[in-house]
Each structure stands twice: as structure tokens, then as C-alpha cells.
Structure 1
């Protein structure tokens, strides 16, 4: 092959590419899809204290215990859950937060006059004695992670995060539960039953203090 022929072949190839490109850009057919609307779905968790109560976005005074003393049992209370949104959810996360109000003026016997600055100290004496998440088909013991003979499931269990030999509100705050969403149940509702005990070992450390508990429930897609 001589030099002249090689140049000719290259030029032809280049021209072919340019012609092809010109053809591609010249001929086209455009169609459109109009009036498309995307609406975000919703997750709308509502709760109530009793089966006859209306569903609301929150409840108050699940427990209201005046004159509590170390060793007292805090009676079982229940909260019902239902998703009124349009998006199917998979899990319900349960955790808590809390604060402490110090008595003013301070009780002389109060051995910890600054509990409001470190409420974890009092939360470690608020023992969870009973906590079940249930409906007609499930009954999950959140102290063991068992649902009847099923389990234990780690996400269904509160662990002893500070290794003090008891399960407290401090542990629930630091090791949230991840339970089956109400949406996964045929009845579309579930309930939480929970009872507490103010540890006798608390002694005089928190005399006159007010412990304010906030349970937090989050539905997850």
C-alpha cells in the first residue's frame, strides 16, 4: 500500500464518520409526556391511651405519680399505635428521653442536689419491670426479645447497656427497640404495655425531685 492510497482511505473513513454524525443530528423524533404529577406519600403515626379514645398525634400523663418513693411500683399503662398515612411501614422504633426538676428550695435530705444537670443518674433507678408489644397475633416481651417461642430477636430486646444488672429507662434511651410496624399486622394496630419500679436502692438521692419521662415512637418505611 503506497502513501497516497493510505491517505485516501483515512479521508474516506473520516468523511463517513462526519456524514453519519450529520445524519444522526439532522433526523430526530421527539415525543413528550405531559402533566406528570408526583405526590409524596405520608407516614402518619397516631396513638391513644385506651381503645375508646380518639387517635391523636400524642398523649400526655400516661403516668402521673405524686409522692413516689424508692421501692414503689409504677403501674402498667398502655399506648395504642396505628399508621394513618399512605406509605407502608416496616418497623416502629421506641426510645425515650427524660429530664429532672429539682425541688426549690432543696430538701435537706436530697443527696444529689444537681440531678437536673445529669438526669441519667435518676433514670438508672427507674426499672422497667414489664414491657410487652402486642396485638391479637404477637406478644413480644421486650425484656427478653421473645415472641412466644420465636426469638430472641436482638432488635426486640432492651439490653443492659451499663451492666448494672437491671433494665432501666437509661437502657431504653441508649438501646432503642425496633419492633414490627402496626402496618405488618392484619389488624393494623399494636399496643405497648409497660410498668416501672422506682429502685429501692435510690435511697435519699432524689428526694423532692420530679422525673419527667418522654416516650418517643418513630415509624420507619
Structure 2
């Protein structure tokens, strides 16, 4: 074997040896840090007190009655909007109705629960049942709550006047009838924000 070959093999062997030594002893500094993170969702908890706002017997055309109730935000998040859905059923005692009893029950939402003198919005149960919840919020709850909505941990008082409308005509078809009213209050959160 020639000197050049031996020299080439020697250099190659030395390079390979250095590579193996360097690769085997290659070291670096390192450090690990673990963080613990939490995402806890808040709660919306709208409560109406009392849950039965009105329960009357023996009403007649021309009668009116005022009832008060509270909307409470018992959650941890502010409520931006309260939406109201109205539904009712009628028990026609004599099975002779040609008209909707709900057209003759007028509802006045009042501003001042103490004086009961200023009407926020007036409509009938029949019209209220057809209204979209967003429209009801605009006419009834927004004037009461304003931009602030119903903040967490707060209570707002409401007064409602119900009128059995006397239309000056024969309303005998409603004698003995019962109207069962169901109001469903729904809360919507405020818009998201940077935290």
C-alpha cells in the first residue's frame, strides 16, 4: 500500500474518530418550566320572583289589577338583554268562543313600581304573544335597564297592570273562561371583552 493511501486512511480514521468522540460527548444546557392555567366560565342566572305573577278568579270586563315582580341576576355575569316570550291557553267553559280572550286582556308595563303612574309600553296579550322577543326587549326592558343591562348581583322591580278591556259590546262568550298565561324570561350575556 502506498504512502498516499496510508496517509489518506489515517486522516479518514482520525476524522471519523473525532466525529464519534464529539458526537458522543456533545452536551447543552436546558431547563423546563410548566405553567398551570385555568379558564372558568361565568354564569347567567336570571330569576323572576314571584314565579306566579297573577292568579285571579271572577274578573269581569272593566276590572284592572296591578302586580309587581322582580327580575334578579343571581349569576356572576352581567345580563345585557332580557327577552320575554308570551304564551297562553284558553279554557273555553261553554265552548262558544268566536274571539280570542287574549285580545281583551291589556297589559301595561309600568316604570315606577311605587307610584304606578308611568306606562313604559301597553299592548294586549294577543299582540304580545305575536311579538318577537327582541322587540319586547326594545320596548319594555331596555327603557328600564338602559345600556347597563342587569349587572350581576342586582335586582330590578317591575310593575304590570292587567286590564280586562270592556269593549262596550256583548262579551258573554268569555263568561266562565280561563286564560292561562305563561311568560318565559330569557337572559343574554353582554358582548365578549378583552380580559
**Do Structure 1 and Structure 2 share a fold, with TM-score over 0.5?**
yes
Matched residue, 1:101: 91
Cα shift readout 1:136-178 (whole Å, capped 9, x = no counterpart): 9xx98422xxxxxxxxxxxxxx6xxxxxxxx201222222421
Q: Pairwise CA RMSD of aligned residues?
A: 3.2
Gap change, CA 1:35 and 1:77, over 3 Å in 2: same
Shift of 1:94: 2.7
Matched residue, 2:192: none
Q: Is the 8 A contact 1:134 1:190 kept in 2?
A: no
1-structure distance, mates of 2:118, 2:41: 33
Matched residue, 1:125: 104
Matched residue, 1:39: 40
Shift of 1:205: 2.1
For structure 2, list consecutive stretches of 5 or more residues without a partner in the other structure: 1-29, 190-195
Matched residue, 2:57: 66
After TM superposition, the score normalised by the length of structure 1 is 0.55
1-structure distance, mates of 2:155, 2:48: 10
2-structure distance, mates of 1:140, 1:218: 25
Matched residue, 2:68: 78
**How many residues are matched?**
144
Shift of 1:209: 1.2
Matched residue, 2:120: 142
Match of 1:194 among 160, 164, 172: 160
Match of 1:183 among 140, 143, 151: 151
Shift of 1:212: 0.6
Gap change, CA 1:46 and 1:33, over 3 Å in 2: farther
Matched residue, 1:173: 129
SS at match of 1:65: coil
After TM superposition, the score normalised by the length of structure 2 is 0.61
Shift of 1:44: 0.4
